[in-house]
Structure 1
Amino acid sequence: MKLFLKNILMTVLAVVSFVSVQAQQATKKRIDGVVGVVGNYVILDSDINNTLIQAKATGYDTAKLTRCELLGTLLENKLFTHQAIQDSIVLTDEEVNSYMDGQIDRMVEQAGSIDNVVQFYNKKSYEELRETFFDITKENLLASRMQDKLIKEVTITPEEIRQFYNKIPKDSLPMVGDQIEMAEIVIKPEITKEQRQAVIDKLNEIRQDVIDGSSFASKVYMYSEDKGSIQTGGLYTIDKKTQFVKEFKDVAFSLREGEISKPFETEHGYHIILLEKIKGKDLELRHILIKPKPTAEALEKAKTTLDELRIRILNKEITFADAARQYSEQKETKQSGGILLDRSGESRFELNKMEDRMLYEMVSNLKVGEISNNTLVTDPTDKQYYRIVQITNKIPQHLADFSKDYMQIRYVALKSKQNEVIGKWIADHIKDTYIYINDDYQNCNFKSNWLKNR
């Protein structure tokens, strides 16, 4: 349940109302709505209410949740955020905006349109919606990054995994849900040299306009396709450790103050950069991103090509694996015959825990050997391609078995060890951090010593 609550905080609290109040405003007296303070961060009654509402929306049995448990998890989140600031953990606006884009996209999928989302959260505009979510998203990402820092050196040996498994009572072994193994074939629409050159020519035209006196920021509003920086006029502050693609940083650090780069390509598209200021190790810059886009004809050709290949596979003229090796344009899976792997490198996906909802819809009703319909996919960088997926194996729901489910058991064992590290860190840092808990929660039986009196 603890993992569930942390997931709720990271993926749900970014869509609830956020109020920033400095710790100095908190006193020993009851302050309306404030139930807790950690360092400079405040927790409101409404934060607990909203987390509970969102938990219900996910289908979780909230009868098992107490307000004390929810407050305890919120307190942890604030402590991580507070320490992330103390440790000067770097988080760029691009990263915050990119994560927020994904969350808003998921909200739009559920609500039907961005206008419905804006209305649901009682905002006047899309811009106000983003402004409201920015701070809470940044706070949650900082908390996550702080936890990542704490556990990045934590490893686990095969013997520790075996010991962990053997300590689980046989009647308490976890149930592993239905799992599938699958393979994919991807065909991408062609983007011609002429289309790429048209983007380069446009960026050169914009560059010349700025050299001749036009505002770079105004050009960003007019032309840039980087959602994460449009509202700031393309502005970023980066150093050599900032998590931008190498090609972007190479160009940025080759410029002089006031210089505008020539168009260059990254995996995201084509850019130009204006380096405004060099401040020690930091660069203040603005950039414009334009992405070459396939024509309707190119998309249709890609679809037709994959449709025809699918028919050949169904007619047993070629195996799915051989077709993937010969024709698929997804380099990450092509050489393995299209085999899909999760983030841990495991080929088994637990069906009801798949994060890619479009992929889930493609495969959830397929039997072993069956092939999905040809589907148009838009990836996180807005690139489009067509994809078919074949189910290669299905593993029914079963009790966890050490040999059969080693990777899953390893994951749980490692998480347990990481949680021990985090738990000790929380205990140590509570002692040295300003904590305020409202009188209404003084009788909570927190897992950590938030009350500092036990």
Structure 2
Amino acid sequence: MKKYIVVIAGLLSLLPVCAQQDDKSGSVVDEVIWVVGDEPILRSEVEANRMMSAMEGIRWNGDPDCAIPEQLAVQKLFLHQAAIDSIEVKESEISSGIEQRIEEWIQQIGSREKLEEYKKQTLSQIRESMHDEYRDQLLIRRMKERLVKDITVTPAEVRRYFRNLPQDSIPYVPTEVEVQILTMTPRISTEEINRVKDELRDYTDRVNRGETSFQTLARLYSEDPGSRRMGGELPFMGRAELDPAFAAAAFNLTDPKKISKIVESEFGMHIIQLVEKRGDKVKVRHILRKPLVADSTVNAALARLDSIGDDIRNNVFTFEDGATVISDDKDTRANKGLMAKKSQYGQTLSSRFQLQDLPPEIARVVDTLQVGQVSKAFTMINNRDKTVCVIAKLKNRIEGHKATITEDFQVMKEVVLNKRQEEKLHDWVVQKIKSTYVRLNDDYKNCHFEYEGWNR
């Protein structure tokens, strides 16, 4: 592997850092400004990131003309290592993340039409253009998680760090809340499940009779926004990247002309068609349909939860007992309903949330509660895009204040842990730069970079 990388680097060193020109005007349309390993960075990438930063209100430390390409170069290092370590992400994660990002933009800019006007693209084109970049972001996050997963800090380190911190550097802790939830997922009726299955069987029959193609039906009817625009086609993926039931059906397909039986995953119901197998990866098309929950079923679940809430308020049993026995939220049930947040690298940190860090439906309800109070039942959309019914209890509210080691040990621990993690990642990048071929356009030779070693 090392010899292979050296050969590529040597070949790249013989190539000119080239520019693509417009044939009519002779002006530069695009240009390779950096090479990291065997990956080029184009000037157009820098400009696209500059525009996105402006849209999201991101401010750069130092000169953006230097900071943006450096950030892209660092991303290339993490992506290269992720490929070496065979890190994978699920297509469903990519689609879900893109939809969330688009919704955030729509809220910021005012409407879908305004977003399309600003981006000069349709929503389908926006999704398609975001796919590879968002996939890379997830891979980078996974790679960082792997690099820092073994980092821990002791209570003694936290106390020492806090003791040596200047008074004006002690962090201010905004108002935080601790929240417990008890959830109930409304069941989908047999009639609705059969309706969706009949639709999928009809799609299969129409393709088998030669009336239409699988791709056409996927574009018309699939409820997976990420693959619908591609005729239902997903990229090559391994078993670990897919829902287990979906993976089992996809990898059992052998004939591209055959369509799978109906597959039920955590996202809905699918039919699948094989495109190609390559080693331990498979490329398939699929059509996703999501059975709908009847309003009457949702209302029944809300009424049941309101009854449970009344029993808790009347001391028939505690919220903790109810969450442990009744709740179907697997993330909180084992913790007596208590919600907990994780670091950006996947480590569980604290049960304290600022309101803006909670799911919006929960935040709106909790903001109206007194400590110890249990809410009326309400609905929310969970991270699997399913409607769930919820009652919430405000376990604690901690008003904003300067951090103290006795009251805010977890906050200070998080500060120290984040610092150790960032130090680890910074040192890793510096070492990676030393062992990776790097070539910069002369325009960047005088930049002051965050990481040493680019200009060598």
Bin for the TM-score computed over the shorter chain: 0.7 to 0.9
Q: Which amino acid counterpart does residue 79 of structure 2 have in structure 1?
A: A
Structure 1 residues 98 and 438 mapped into 2: Cα distance closer, same or farther (>3 Å)?
A: farther
State the shift of 1:216 in Å: 1.6
2:148 corresponds, among 144, 148, 151, to 151
- 1:107 is aligned to 105
| CA distance in structure 2 between the partners assigned to 1:165 and 1:346 by the alignment | 18
- 2:11 is aligned to none
Q: Which amino acid counterpart does residue 67 of structure 2 have in structure 1?
A: G
SS at match of 1:253: helix
Mapped contact 1:362–1:372 kept (Cα < 8 A): yes
Q: Which amino acid counterpart does residue 295 of structure 1 have in structure 2?
A: A
1:413 and 2:408 aligned:
no
Q: Which amino acid counterpart does residue 77 of structure 1 have in structure 2?
A: L
Mapped contact 2:378–2:390 kept (Cα < 8 A): yes
Mapped contact 1:78–1:143 kept (Cα < 8 A): no
Mapped contact 1:165–1:402 kept (Cα < 8 A): no
State the shift of 1:203 in Å: 2.2
| CA distance in structure 1 between the partners assigned to 2:138 and 2:325 by the alignment | 41
Mapped contact 2:309–2:375 kept (Cα < 8 A): no
- 1:4 is aligned to none
1:165 corresponds, among 131, 144, 161, to 161
| CA distance in structure 1 between the partners assigned to 2:28 and 2:152 by the alignment | 45
| CA distance in structure 2 between the partners assigned to 1:243 and 1:300 by the alignment | 35
Superposed counterparts of 1:9-158, under 5 Å: 24-25=17-18, 37-39=34-36, 40-43=40-43, 46=47, 49-50=50-51, 53-54=54-55, 56=57, 66-68=61-63, 71-72=66-67, 74-81=69-76, 84-85=79-80, 88=83, 90=88, 94-123=92-121, 125-152=122-149, 154-158=150-154
- 1:175 is aligned to 172
1:192 and 2:189 aligned:
yes
- 1:243 is aligned to 241
Mapped contact 2:17–2:31 kept (Cα < 8 A): no
State the shift of 1:91 in Å: 5.2
Structure 1 residues 55 and 119 mapped into 2: Cα distance closer, same or farther (>3 Å)?
A: closer
| CA distance in structure 2 between the partners assigned to 1:160 and 1:141 by the alignment | 34
State the shift of 1:376 in Å: 2.1
Mapped contact 2:79–2:136 kept (Cα < 8 A): no
- 2:440 is aligned to 436
| CA distance in structure 2 between the partners assigned to 1:314 and 1:338 by the alignment | 16
Mapped contact 1:23–1:37 kept (Cα < 8 A): no
Segment of structure 1 superposing worse, 203-212 or 398-407: 398-407
Task: Give unmatched runs, 5+ long, in structure 1.
Answer: 1-21
Structure 1 residues 378 and 76 mapped into 2: Cα distance closer, same or farther (>3 Å)?
A: same
- 1:12 is aligned to none
State the shift of 1:368 in Å: 0.9
1:233 and 2:231 aligned:
yes
Mapped contact 2:270–2:286 kept (Cα < 8 A): yes
Q: Which amino acid counterpart does residue 185 of structure 2 have in structure 1?
A: K
| CA distance in structure 2 between the partners assigned to 1:23 and 1:383 by the alignment | 52
Segment of structure 1 superposing worse, 162-171 or 292-301: 162-171
State the shift of 1:437 in Å: 5.6
Mapped contact 2:260–2:271 kept (Cα < 8 A): yes
Mapped contact 2:91–2:241 kept (Cα < 8 A): no
| CA distance in structure 2 between the partners assigned to 1:50 and 1:237 by the alignment | 28
| CA distance in structure 2 between the partners assigned to 1:41 and 1:393 by the alignment | 49
State the shift of 1:427 in Å: 1.9
- 2:270 is aligned to 271
Segment of structure 1 superposing worse, 184-193 or 33-42: 33-42
SS at match of 2:225: coil
| CA distance in structure 2 between the partners assigned to 1:159 and 1:348 by the alignment | 18
| CA distance in structure 2 between the partners assigned to 1:34 and 1:265 by the alignment | 47
Aligned length: 421
SS at match of 1:417: helix
- 2:381 is aligned to 378
Task: Give unmatched runs, 5+ long, in structure 2.
Answer: 1-14, 21-26
- 1:284 is aligned to 283
Mapped contact 1:351–1:364 kept (Cα < 8 A): no
| CA distance in structure 1 between the partners assigned to 2:198 and 2:259 by the alignment | 15
Per-residue CA distance 1:348-407 (angstroms, 9 max, x = gap): 223155153333223234331234454321223321122222111122334444454444
| CA distance in structure 1 between the partners assigned to 2:239 and 2:333 by the alignment | 32
State the shift of 1:230 in Å: 0.7
| CA distance in structure 2 between the partners assigned to 1:74 and 1:144 by the alignment | 19
- 1:6 is aligned to none
SS at match of 2:241: coil
State the shift of 1:183 in Å: 1.0
Q: Which amino acid counterpart does residue 427 of structure 2 have in structure 1?
A: K
Segment of structure 1 superposing worse, 361-370 or 136-145: 136-145
SS at match of 1:228: helix
Q: Which amino acid counterpart does residue 412 of structure 2 have in structure 1?
A: I
| CA distance in structure 1 between the partners assigned to 2:293 and 2:204 by the alignment | 24
Superposed counterparts of 1:242-391, under 5 Å: 242-258=240-256, 259-311=258-310, 313-314=312-313, 319-325=318-324, 327-334=326-333, 336-343=335-342, 344-346=347-349, 348-351=351-354, 354=357, 356-391=359-394
| CA distance in structure 2 between the partners assigned to 1:407 and 1:137 by the alignment | 31
Q: Percent identity?
A: 24
- 2:3 is aligned to none
Q: Which amino acid counterpart does residue 397 of structure 1 have in structure 2?
A: G
State the shift of 1:194 in Å: 2.5
| CA distance in structure 1 between the partners assigned to 2:106 and 2:188 by the alignment | 29
SS at match of 1:232: coil
| CA distance in structure 2 between the partners assigned to 1:282 and 1:98 by the alignment | 22
